[in-house]
Chains A and B, each alone.
Chain A
Amino acid sequence: MEYLLHILILIGIYVILASSLNLIAGYAGLLSIAHAAFFGVGAYVAVLMGLHWETPFLVNLAAAVVFCGILGGVVGAPGLRIRDDYFVIATFAFQVIAFSVLNNWVSLTGGPMGLPGIPQPVIFGWTVSSHWEFLVLTGGCCAAVLWICHKIVTSPFGRMLKAIREDEVFAQAAGKNVAACKVLVFAIGAAMAAVAGVMYAHYISFIDPTSFTVMESIFIISIVIIGGAGSMWGPVLGAVVLVALPEVLRFVGLPSAVAANVRQILYGGALVAMMMWRPQGLLGEYAFRKGEAQQ
C-alpha cells in the first residue's frame, strides 16, 4: 500500500512539473530544458530556510515560489532576443549553471553531499508525516496548480499565449505585448516548479544536486511532449505513464539498476517516435513547428 502511495505522490509531483512546463513550452512555445533547475532551486531555497532560520513551512514554500518566479523571469528574458533552438541552448546553459551552483557552492548547499534531515512540514499545526498525509498535501498542490493552469489557458490570456506561440508578428500587430507575456509565463511556470521542488524535498527528506540534472530536465520536457504539449491533460497523462513506467519494469522482473537505464531508453525512444509520427504528442495540439519556413 505504502508503495502505491509513494508512486502516487511522485506522480503528483511530476504532474506539477509537467503542467507548469507545459504553460511555458506548450502554450507559449518557449521550449525550455531548464525546468529541473527551478525544481531544484525551489527545493533548496525552502529547505535552507527551514534548516537555517527554522521558518515555518508555508513561509518557506512562499519564499521558494517567489524566488523561482523572479529567477524564471530573469531566465525567460533572453527569450525576447534569442529564439527557437538558440533559446533552447540558452535554457540548457542556465540548467548547467544552476546544477553547478548547487553542486559546488558547498558551504551553502552541502555540495554533492546534499542536505539531509529535512524536517516534516507543519501546516497550521498539522504535521505531515505519513504517506497518506503527503499524498493529501501533494494532491492539494497538484489540484491548485492544475486549477491555475486551467484558468490561464481558458482565459483571453491563454489565447494570447497560443497566438504568440504560433505567430509573434501577428500577435504584436494585434497589440499584444509579446515580451511581457513571455517573461510572465516563464516566471509563473518556474514558480510552480518550485512548489514541486518543495514537496519533493520534504517528502524524501533529503536532497542532493543529482535530482536536478540536465537529464531530469529532459525527462520533464519528455513528459510534456509525449503526453501532448499545449493541452491541459496531456502532461498529466504523460506524468502518469512515464512515472509509473519504471515500476512496471520492476514488476516484470528487471533488476532496478538495469530498469533505470531501460526506462530512459524507453522514453528517449518514445521522444524520437513522437517526433517522427506524432509531434503533437498523445493528447496535445502543439507540434513545435516554430522556426519553420512559412509557405
Chain B
Amino acid sequence: MTNDWLRIDGLAKSFDGVKALAGFSCSLREGEILGLLGPNGAGKTTLFNVISGFLAPESGNVVLRGVNLTGKPPHRIATAGIARTFQDLRLIRQLSVLDNVLLSFRDQPGERLGNVFFRGKSSQDQEAANRNEATSLLEECGLAEKANDPAEDLSYGQQKLLSLVCCLAAKADLLLLDEPVAGIAPEMIEKMLGIIRDLPNQGKSVMLIEHDLDAVMQVCDRVVFMDAGVKVSEGTPEEVRNDPKVIEAYIA
C-alpha cells in the first residue's frame, strides 16, 4: 500500500559494548520481498530478534501497519502477524512433522484450557480444520509422507523446509526468514525459492537474510546491505551489487 507498511526506525542494540545494531532503519512495502545482505556479524540476525521481540532494542521502533510493536513480548508479535525462522533451525525435534505445523497456527481455540473442557466441540472442529490445512501444506511441499515422523528424522534441508511451512501455517503477513537456503542441496533450494517467490501473490511480505547472492538476485525485489549495524546501501539487487561501498565492505 504505502511506503511504510513496515517501518523500522533507528534501532540500536549492543552486547557488552559491541554495537550489533547502531541506528538501523529501513521500510518494507506490502507484498515486497526485501533481501538483507551483510557480512558475518553485521547484525542481521539481531535485527530479526529485535523485530520479533526476543530482544529489546535500546532505542528505535518497529511499526507494522501503524501499530508500534516495540517492546511487546514475542508471542504478541507473533500473533500480530509476524512469523520467523531461525538461523540455527528451531523445531520441536521430538514432535512429529505434523505437530510442528499444527503448533504454528495462531490463536487456536483448543489452546485455551477453558475451551478444552467447556467448548470442546468448536475447538475440535477448528483443530480438524487446522489438521486438514496442515496436511495439504505438507503435501504441497512434498513432506506429506513424513507427516508422522519426528521432526528430527528429517534431513537438514527438509527441516529447513518444514520451518518455512510452519511460517506458512502461521498465516502471518510478514515472514522473517533467516538464511533459509544456507547449507542445503540445490534442488531443495529451488523448491524453497519457488515457495518464497510465490508469497507476495498471497499478499505476504518477506524479509530474507541470505548470503547466497544468486538466491537473493532471483527472488528479491529490493535489497538492503548492512554492515556493523547500519544500512550501507539500498536498492535493486543489481544496484546494490555494483555499489562501491558494498564491494568495499565485502573486501574489508
Q: Does A178 contact B (CB under 8 A)?
A: yes
Q: Does B127 contact A (CB under 8 A)?
A: yes
A212–B76 CA distance with the chains assembled, in angstroms? 40
Please state if A174 and B113 are interface contacts (CB–CB under 8 Å): no
> Would you list which residues of chain B between 94 and 132 have a CB under 8 Å from chain A?
94-95, 99, 102-104, 106-108, 110-113, 116-117, 123, 127
Please state if B106 and A175 are interface contacts (CB–CB under 8 Å): yes
> Would you list which residues of chain B between 63 and 86 have a CB under 8 Å from chain A?
73-75, 78-79, 83-84, 86
Q: Does A151 contact B (CB under 8 A)?
A: yes
Pick the contact of B75 from A172, A184, A294 — CB < 8 Å?
A172
A174–B83 CA distance with the chains assembled, in angstroms? 7
Please state if A170 and B91 are interface contacts (CB–CB under 8 Å): yes
Please state if B116 and A174 are interface contacts (CB–CB under 8 Å): no
Among the 9-residue stretches A56-64, A159-167, A247-255, the one with 4 or more Cβ atoms under 8 Å from chain B is A159-167
Please state if A175 and B75 are interface contacts (CB–CB under 8 Å): yes
Residues of A within 8 A of B107 (CB): 175
Q: Does A276 contact B (CB under 8 A)?
A: no
Known: A157-B110, A169-B90. A163 touches B75 (CB 8 A): no
Residues of B within 8 A of A155 (CB): 110-111, 116, 123
Q: Does B214 contact A (CB under 8 A)?
A: no
Please state if A159 and B116 are interface contacts (CB–CB under 8 Å): no
Please state if A156 and B102 are interface contacts (CB–CB under 8 Å): yes
A294–B53 CA distance with the chains assembled, in angstroms? 21
> Would you list which residues of chain A between 81 and 111 have a CB under 8 Å from chain B?
none
A188–B113 CA distance with the chains assembled, in angstroms? 10
A171–B75 CA distance with the chains assembled, in angstroms? 8
Known: A156-B108, A163-B95, A163-B103. A173 touches B74 (CB 8 A): yes
- Shortest 9 CB-CB contacts between residues of A and residues of B: A156-B110, A175-B78, A172-B74, A175-B79, A155-B116, A170-B90, A175-B106, A156-B111, A166-B92
| Interface residues, chain A, with chain B CB atoms under 8 Å away | 148, 151-152, 155-157, 159-160, 162-163, 166-167, 169-178, 184, 188, 285, 294
| Interface residues, chain B, with chain A CB atoms under 8 Å away | 52-54, 73-75, 78-79, 83-84, 86, 88, 90-95, 99, 102-104, 106-108, 110-113, 116-117, 123, 127, 166, 170
Q: What are 16 inter-chain pairs, A to B, with CB distance below 8 A?
A: A155-B116, A159-B99, A162-B94, A169-B90, A170-B91, A170-B92, A170-B103, A171-B103, A172-B54, A172-B78, A173-B54, A173-B84, A174-B104, A175-B106, A177-B75, A294-B88
